[in-house]
Structure 1
Amino acid sequence: MSKTNYKEALQNDLFKIISKSAKEIGLDSYVIGGFVRDYLLNRGEHKDIDIVAIGSGIALAKQVAKNLPHRPKVQVFKTYGTAMLVHQDMDIEFVGARKESYSESSRNPVVENGTLQDDQNRRDFTINAMALHLDENSFGNLLDPFNGIKDLETKIIRTPLDPDITYSDDPLRMMRAIRFATQLHFTIEDDSLEAISRNSERINIITNERIVVELNKILESDKPSIGFLHLEKTGLLKHILPELTALKGIDEVEGQTHKDNFYHTLEVVDNISKNTDNLWLRWAALLHDIGKAPTKKFSKKVGWTFHAHEFEGAKMVYHLFKRLKMPLNDKMKFVQKMVFMSSRPIVLAQELVTDSAVRRLVFDAGDFVEDLMVLCEADITTKNSKKFNKYHNNFKIVRQKIDEVEARDHVRNFQPPISGEEIMTTFSLKPSREIGQIKELIKEAILEGDIPNEYDAAYELMLREGKRLGLKVNV
């Protein structure tokens, strides 16, 4: 890895076009940041490419667009002195080399034109400050003033300058440090980690939308617990997700304790990450126990309880999503449903698995019954191998029953065989309480297995219930 020229990284014709365009308008240009880092790590193609020009990045972007065959549209962001264009499904951002200074209350810097060195100084980490020259005479030469290549080799996250300054200037970099450590399985250098702890309160000046982008990337990694342990250890988590830090710790009364629900949660998130890439199901795993902190009680009779924690947790999901400016749409409702139902299959797996219990599970979970099963299997973190195997064997039985019940009774996304309109027509009724009673009775009879989920059986039951209620059939 310790070469000085990486021309082979720049084989895409795009880089030659940028080099040619820069020469035409008399600028020096470099590719910098994530593209260089990911190439050296052999992480596959990097679709976001950052180009630094010594001079106007906007002018370079426009010149490149002229020289590209399809003449892409250039988006200009004058306030930031940047421009962007899309080429071959790559997002290419152009910026003029700059130096920055910050105020205490904002992460938006005062920007001045600068040299390449100024630009590399302002980068977040040494591994993101490496640049490849695009000038035709030194095409592919590596410029690495902070020995980022060594930090790649030793798997270290380190800031180019004093970490206190780097993190205080732009506190989002604290989240990014933890995110990169999680994604790449790198270690955050000690001074840097301590600086994050010292500056953790500064995260409060960052918008929730930007914080959530980093949280999502941590959750999408193959072992999210790395990131959440760093967030908790540095004090960032209590500012971002206090609902999680409230789960930390073990209380003891009269010799009785409960498990530490924070560390249990992180185990569940790691477990589920082995089996699904669904970000929102991973969010459900992260939040499945948040209702336990407010519902925790101790009684001499039964010890520690968390009654209705799923119900409380589902309510908390809405407030958490709203606070973090996360989507309050079907994604939030999905997470709520998973949290609310998170114990149902576990209870089933402890008992004799009846058809009616499985029918109700499928009825309530609908299309998300498989997601719910994946969550509940991840939730088994007991270190007792006998218990662990028993739960998982019972889950196999529950899954088998789900398939059998669904094939026979079709209760997923259940639609009653008899509609409210048909009940009204049959008994010459106007909208009334009796219609709801009859519909509910038919639904319950199907879920309990008293009648099959078929029209004729439901029709007969409707007539019987109508007679019991004193209703006359419309002849």
Structure 2
Amino acid sequence: MPKYHNYRKALQHPIFSIIAEAADELQVEAYVIGGFVRDHLLERGEPKDIDIVAVGSGMDLAAKVSEKLQHKPKVQYFKNFGTAMLRAYDMEIEFVGARKESYREDSRKPVVEDGTLQDDQNRRDFTINALALRLNENGFGDLLDPFDGYHDLQKKIIKTPLDPDITYSDDPLRMYRAIRFASQLNFRIEAASLKSIKENCNRIKIISKERIVDELNKILLSPKPSKGFALLYKTGLLKKILPELTALEGIDEVEGQTHKDNFWHTLEVVDNISQETDDLWLRWAALLHDIGKAPTKKFHKKIGWTFHGHEFVGAKMVFKLFKRIRLPLNEKMKFVQKMVLLSSRPIAIADDSVTDSAVRRLIFDAGDHIDHLMILCEADITTKNPKRFKKYHQNFQVVREKIQEVEERDHVRNFQPPVSGEEIMETFGIKPGREVGQIKAAIKEAILEGDIPNEYEAARNFMLKKGELLGLTVD
């Protein structure tokens, strides 16, 4: 990061001069603090939100700023927290009065009192988030950096302003935030701070699952998620939220036969897929694709270690895991389940002897997500042997070509039966019931097996023959 001299440069956006004018009219000190300052110094792009601290009433300052803005945005007040928020220039701007906090042992909700800017900086989670730029005309752009956070930015260090035991015990979510920032920014957590996270990890139990998952998602969306998940594992935090994942760690040996460490393999897969996609749920699928291996692991003298049915078991585990940690139980969960369930299927069709039927069934089962599945399967190649690496990727290229060829000819992606249930009932003069389902299922199987083409006339003729076998007559 280049040495930075002109802090006024960070405040060129017109919103800052408006806030400065409002603060001076109210005769309160105002500062922009936290993520905006940090990210500007790191040159991380345009901000989406700004945090403003007023030494006085943040709510009054928000109201005055709204008056001065041309579109007079509505101010949302959160009186219980002494904060206010408005939207301007496609940004969320939050205003808070400077405060000091104290905590009880059994809660992360602080007792809040009015305080000075120093008090407010003391309560910040990390030195790099305690940087503040003055907005008042007198001293506009001055950097207030009591904990040398600028130096920590340069050295790429995550460090707490105060004793880390106090910082993490007061608000244990900060342990996840420390790891999240280390993962997002590729920073190092200071040794004393890392030691404190290990010692305080049991305090995480007072934090809601929703807030923890929010941090997990941000770690998973970081450029190299393995950095964050390795830190979660080493500090003991991962076992408390995702024991299904940590259960994969370790290598067992029986009669000289071992298996790979599926935990560290999983982290490699997540890193691989993160180079190809920013899709959060596909990254979740990569993280969970092998969780069924721990409960299905068995040793057989003749064949060694096996994990039979781990995809099926893993897919079932996805629902329980999502429900427990408060992830959405909607189409996103079903997508992850599908990816886990099908994760071993594509490689099975790389063989030259595989029939078109097997390819059609894979396309049918994956539907619109066949491309996502291929990305996951290719990310699953973690061998360090160059020849094997090349061979496996060539195999998947063969799979892609087979999928394209069969799909262009048979059109089974998002398959809809050429003959509808209504037509079956009308043809045979029957009501909804078992026979309708049997005929529809038989048509689907005939198309997937390649017995008939995926065309209306062929399907209708097949329907008539199947109906005859069931003792039905054309009405």
Q: TM-score, normalised by structure 1?
A: 0.97
Partner residue, 2:364: 363
Using the alignment, how far apart are the partners of 1:6 and 1:227 within structure 2?
Answer: 31
Kindly provide the amino acid, as one letter, of the partner of residue 69 in structure 1. Answer: Q
Q: How far apart are residue 334 of structure 1 and its match? A: 0.7
Partner residue, 1:226: 227
Partner residue, 1:281: 282
Q: Rate the CA distance shift 1:322–1:392 in 2: closer, same or farther, 3 A.
A: same
Using the alignment, how far apart are the partners of 2:251 and 2:348 within structure 1?
Answer: 24
SS of alignment partner, residue 80 of structure 2: helix
Partner residue, 2:250: 249
Answer yes or no: is the 8 Å Cα contact 2:4–2:41 preserved in 1.
no
Q: What CA deviation, in whole Å up to 9, does each residue of 1:421-464 have, x standing for no partner? A: 22222223333433322222211111111211001111222222
Using the alignment, how far apart are the partners of 1:289 and 1:126 within structure 2?
Answer: 38
1:16 counterpart = 2:38: no
Using the alignment, how far apart are the partners of 2:64 and 2:312 within structure 1?
Answer: 58
Answer yes or no: is the 8 Å Cα contact 1:4–1:142 preserved in 2.
no
Using the alignment, how far apart are the partners of 2:353 and 2:212 within structure 1?
Answer: 45
Answer yes or no: is the 8 Å Cα contact 1:200–1:234 preserved in 2.
yes
Partner residue, 2:210: 209
Answer yes or no: is the 8 Å Cα contact 2:201–2:237 preserved in 1.
yes
Partner residue, 2:81: 80
Kindly provide the amino acid, as one letter, of the partner of residue 388 in structure 1. Answer: F
Using the alignment, how far apart are the partners of 2:99 and 2:255 within structure 1?
Answer: 63
Structure 2 counterparts to residues 151-166 of structure 1, below 5 A: 151-166=152-167
Partner residue, 1:181: 182
Deviates more, 1:187-196 or 1:342-351: 342-351
Deviates more, 1:437-446 or 1:184-193: 437-446
Partner residue, 2:58: 57
Kindly provide the amino acid, as one letter, of the partner of residue 405 in structure 1. Answer: V
Using the alignment, how far apart are the partners of 1:56 and 1:441 within structure 2?
Answer: 71
Partner residue, 1:145: 146
Using the alignment, how far apart are the partners of 2:418 and 2:370 within structure 1?
Answer: 22
1:354 counterpart = 2:369: no
Q: What CA deviation, in whole Å up to 9, does each residue of 1:394-446 have, x standing for no partner? A: 21111112122222111111111112222222223333433322222211111
Answer yes or no: is the 8 Å Cα contact 1:128–1:148 preserved in 2.
yes
Partner residue, 1:29: 30
Q: Rate the CA distance shift 1:3–1:402 in 2: closer, same or farther, 3 A.
A: closer
Using the alignment, how far apart are the partners of 2:125 and 2:164 within structure 1?
Answer: 9
Partner residue, 2:115: 114
1:197 counterpart = 2:233: no
1:68 counterpart = 2:107: no
Q: How far apart are residue 353 of structure 1 and its match? A: 4.0
Partner residue, 1:324: 325
SS of alignment partner, residue 376 of structure 1: helix
Q: How far apart are residue 4 of structure 1 and its match? A: 5.8
Deviates more, 1:174-183 or 1:429-438: 429-438
Partner residue, 1:402: 403
Q: What CA deviation, in whole Å up to 9, does each residue of 1:111-138 have, x standing for no partner? A: 1111111111111111110100111020
Using the alignment, how far apart are the partners of 1:229 and 1:67 within structure 2?
Answer: 48
Using the alignment, how far apart are the partners of 1:134 and 1:292 within structure 2?
Answer: 56
Answer yes or no: is the 8 Å Cα contact 2:273–2:286 preserved in 1.
yes
Q: How far apart are residue 75 of structure 1 and its match? A: 0.7
Answer yes or no: is the 8 Å Cα contact 1:5–1:142 preserved in 2.
no
> Where does the alignment leave 5 or more consecutive residues of structure 2 unmatched?
none
Structure 2 counterparts to residues 448-467 of structure 1, below 5 A: 448-467=449-468
Kindly provide the amino acid, as one letter, of the partner of residue 30 in structure 2. Answer: S
Q: How far apart are residue 84 of structure 1 and its match? A: 0.6
Using the alignment, how far apart are the partners of 2:387 and 2:6 within structure 1?
Answer: 57
Using the alignment, how far apart are the partners of 1:20 and 1:263 within structure 2?
Answer: 54
Answer yes or no: is the 8 Å Cα contact 1:287–1:317 preserved in 2.
yes
Using the alignment, how far apart are the partners of 2:254 and 2:158 within structure 1?
Answer: 43
Deviates more, 1:152-161 or 1:435-444: 435-444
Partner residue, 1:313: 314
Kindly provide the amino acid, as one letter, of the partner of residue 14 in structure 1. Answer: I
Q: How far apart are residue 26 of structure 1 and its match? A: 1.2
Paired residue total:
474
Partner residue, 1:126: 127
Using the alignment, how far apart are the partners of 2:118 and 2:227 within structure 1?
Answer: 33
- Provide the aligned C-alpha RMSD in A: 1.3
* 4+ residue runs over 4 A deviation: 1-5
Q: What CA deviation, in whole Å up to 9, does each residue of 1:368-391 have, x standing for no partner? A: 110011011111112222222222
Q: What CA deviation, in whole Å up to 9, does each residue of 1:216-272 have, x standing for no partner? A: 111111100000000000000011111111111111112111111100100100000
The percent identity for this pair of structures is 72
Using the alignment, how far apart are the partners of 2:432 and 2:4 within structure 1?
Answer: 80
Kindly provide the amino acid, as one letter, of the partner of residue 89 in structure 2. Answer: Q
Partner residue, 1:135: 136
